[in-house]
Copies of this chain bind each other. A is one copy, B any other.
Amino acid sequence: MSLVQDTSPAQVDETVAAADRAAPGWAARSRAERAASLRAVADELDRAADDLVPIAIRETHLGEPRLRGELSRTTFQLRLLAEVLEEGAYLHARVDHADPAWPMGPRPDLRRTGIPYGPVVVFAASNFPFAFSVAGGDTASALAAGCPVIVKAHPGHPALSDATAEVVTAALPEGVFGLVHGDAAGVAVLTHPKVRAAAFTGSIRGGRALFDMAAARPEPIPFYGELGSVNPVFVTAAADAARGETVAEGLVGSFTLGAGQFCTKPGLVLAPRGSRLVAALAGGALPPAAPLLNDRITDAYLHGRQRLRDHPDVRVVAEGPDPLSPSVFATTVTALLADREVLQEECFGPTVLVAEYDEESQLLEVAGTVAGQLTASLVADEDDPLAGELTAVLATKAGRLLWNQWPTGVSVTHAQQHGGPYPATTAVGTTSVGTAAIDRFTRPVAYQGFPQTLLPAELREDPASSRVPRTVDGKQEQP
């Protein structure tokens, strides 16, 4: 039961109006100025850690080390995006000089850069109260791009949301950041004509409902939803034979990390029948039960776990004394393919399902038919005959492939990709983690025949202080 009042329709209107008023000024700030603002937000959040972390502990059941680490990740993201702004490659600037000899007819002077969309709404996630919430990756990348942000707070941590928002708001120009509480307020922002894009992290059901609303607007807007994924792991017979016990150890560490409440938790493992992996899982120790984020998630988890446990084709491999103890279940690939609805559905919490195959070729069959995924992992050897084909098939299904590594612990880097075919994301070509997340909030504009003085700085012949990597007449140029 939240102690925070839902935002009223009048307050929603005022929050959006303030964002709309702030949009031109925020977009017009130089990249250096916006970078300085992002760093100011990061510094203030670091400074407020001793105030914020205790609220987060109280509201999420997560421990202090995890939460302090997550806050560091959050401020790291803000600072990394400040570097991205300063470098400027994210603008994808292109300059084509006029060319009377261009084969399809005289070419005008055309110059293309990225401009921010305008106000955007971010729906905060429950499971990362810092890194995917008020000041998380979506907010950071939208602010960096030059978009004012309105966050719809997650009801799992309302007081933390307010406290974080206070810090962020104070560090930014008026109207550039706003916060609303309540589902109705979230929908009102999403469907407001002045709001130009949306980002979301959460469940398939909730995310799809919001995606549908964004698409049904008189003027549809991009909806960057990160909805769900079972993150399958494909273990070859050779790898199991060589190191099944080590694989079991790694798997337990990954699927129980954060009590299994990560978007990239490995929820489904393909292993040979009679594997050393399953034997090790059956005989090994599992971590103790831990409280989940909130009552709603606990209820949904226990329901999903029970549905798996009651399935006629599922047997228990290992489970602890408490319903919230980590659980390992097993089934067959045949059953997995026959009941996608139950056996291939994400179960958010500390449970993993092992599907046992008789023929290694069934790995390809499963890979070719699973839904879109954030990640897919191969536990295999380089000379496994299936490795090449499995990699190629899985690339069509997931945003990130892992080789003998575990998908939890998503690094914030330049090459990160957190997003894959639906339902992993609703916008398949985008990522919500890593520096490319900023691409979701800029759109290209071409300037034809413009005088130098009226061009954005990065498109001028002598860009002086704001040099960026550009493609000039089709050739990449460094500043």
Contacts and interface: CB of A to CB of B under 8 A. Distances in A.
Given A219-B372, A220-B211, A401 B104 contact: no
Given A104-B411, A476-B469, A117 B398 contact: no
A100 to B, nearest CB: 12
A105 B409 contact: yes
A400 interface: yes
Contacts of A439: 429
B400 A476 contact: no
A119 B379 CA distance: 29
Given A222-B428, A454-B388, A478-B476, A96 B415 contact: yes
A320 interface: no
Interface in A437-464: 439, 442-451, 453-454
Contacts of A110: 411, 413, 415-416
Interface stretch (A45-53, A173-181, A294-302, A389-397): A389-397
A17 interface: no
Nearest to A469: B476
Contacts of A428: 117, 221-222, 443
A263 B338 CA distance: 49
B400 A89 contact: no
A89 B414 contact: no
A415 B104 contact: no
B423 A219 contact: yes
A436 B417 CA distance: 20
Sorting the interface of chain A by its residue count into under 10, 10 to 19, 20 to 34 or 35 or more gives: 35 or more
Contacts of A466: none
A219 B421 contact: yes
Contact of A395 (B89, B221, B445, B469): B445
A405 B108 contact: yes
A400 B449 contact: no
Contact of A399 (B92, B220, B416, B445): B445
A469 B92 CA distance: 13
Question: Which of A83, A405, A415 counts the most chain B CB atoms within 10 A?
Answer: A415
Question: Which of A94, A102, A403, A429 counts the most chain B CB atoms within 10 A?
Answer: A429
Nearest to A375: B448
A431 interface: yes
A69 B104 CA distance: 8
A396 B118 contact: yes
A428 B422 CA distance: 20
B417 A73 contact: no
Nearest to A468: B476
Given A105-B409, A110-B416, A403 B448 contact: yes
Contacts of A443: 399, 420-421, 428-429
Contacts of A212: 215-216
Interface string A211-253: 1100110011110000000000000000000000000000000
Nearest to A380: B454
A110 B434 CA distance: 11
A239 to B, nearest CB: 13
Interface string A158-184: 000000000000000000000000000
Contacts of A403: 447-451, 454
A395 to B, nearest CB: 5
A189 B396 CA distance: 19
A396 B468 CA distance: 22
Interface of A: 24, 28, 69, 72-73, 76, 83, 87, 89, 92, 94-96, 102-105, 107-108, 110-112, 115, 117-118, 196, 211-212, 215-216, 219-222, 371-372, 382, 387-388, 391-393, 395-396, 398-405, 409, 411-417, 419-423, 426-429, 431, 435-436, 439, 442-451, 453-454, 469, 471, 473-474, 476, 478
Given A222-B427, A402-B448, A414-B471, 12 more contacts: A76-B103, A102-B411, A110-B416, A196-B421, A211-B215, A212-B216, A219-B371, A219-B372, A220-B426, A388-B454, A403-B451, A417-B445
